[in-house]
Amino acid sequence: MPVPHSLDGFDVMGAVERMLGQPVLWWQAVGLFVEHYADWESVWLACIGDDAEERKRVHAIRSAAVNVGAVRLSETAGILEDLLLERLAGGSKLVPEGLRQRLGDEFRQSWLAAANARKESGLGPGGSA
């Protein structure tokens, strides 16, 4: 099954290359991303204030974003994760105003782009590659 050559915020071809050049693996990763992370934002927002728990949530979305090639999402999550790690190590780094908003925006954009690509491919919710 062919993959989209262009998907806003994604490096699809790079992700497919990391998956041994097998588009079916990318589609499977996209399916997991869409299904497993549908409620990520609400869970993440609920844990803000607990740096350790927030770091786990941000790390999870960062990793998932890297898998599917959601470059902007993984970069923004990486910035926040690094700041949270510094805070957990005893640093007093403040999270810049707007960083969490940007992460939420990037997440929603990436999740919707992935969900729409999956739907347009005919895989849709519950489909398999």
Domain membership of residue 71 (yes or no) is yes
- Strand extents, DSSP E, the chain: none
* Residue 73: exposure state from Cβ atoms within 10 A (0-12, 13-18, ≥19): buried
Arithmetic mean of pLDDT, 41-67: 97
Q: What pLDDT band is residue 127 in, cutting at 50, 70 and 90?
A: very low
- Mean pLDDT calculated for residue range 103-121: 95
**Cβ atoms of 4 and 117 closer than 8 Å:** yes
Question: What pTM, to 2 d.p., does this model score?
Answer: 0.90
Structure tokens at 106: 């990037």
Domain that holds residue 34: 12-120
What's the token pair of residue 124?
A: 């849709």
pLDDT confidence bin for 125, thresholds 50/70/90: low
Does residue 24 lie in a domain region? Answer: yes
Report the number of distinct structural domains present in the chain. 1
> Two tokens at 81?
């994760």
Task: State whether residue 122 is helix, strand or coil.
Answer: coil
Residue 28 lies in a domain: yes
Q: Which of 120, 126, 125, 116 is nearest to 1 (CA)?
A: 120
Q: Look at residue 18 and tell me if it is in a domain.
A: yes
Tokens of 23: 């588009």
SS3 state at 103 = helix
Q: Which residue has tokens 């992700």?
A: 15
Please report the pLDDT score of residue 46 as a whole number: 98
**pLDDT tens per residue, range 65-88:** 999 999 999 999 999 999 999 999
- Structure confidence by residue, pLDDT tens digits, 26-42: 999 999 999 999 999 99
Give per-residue pLDDT as tens, 2-31.
Answer: 888 779 999 999 999 999 999 999 999 999
Residue 30 resides in a domain: yes
Q: Is residue 6 part of a domain?
A: no
In a domain, 128, yes or no: no
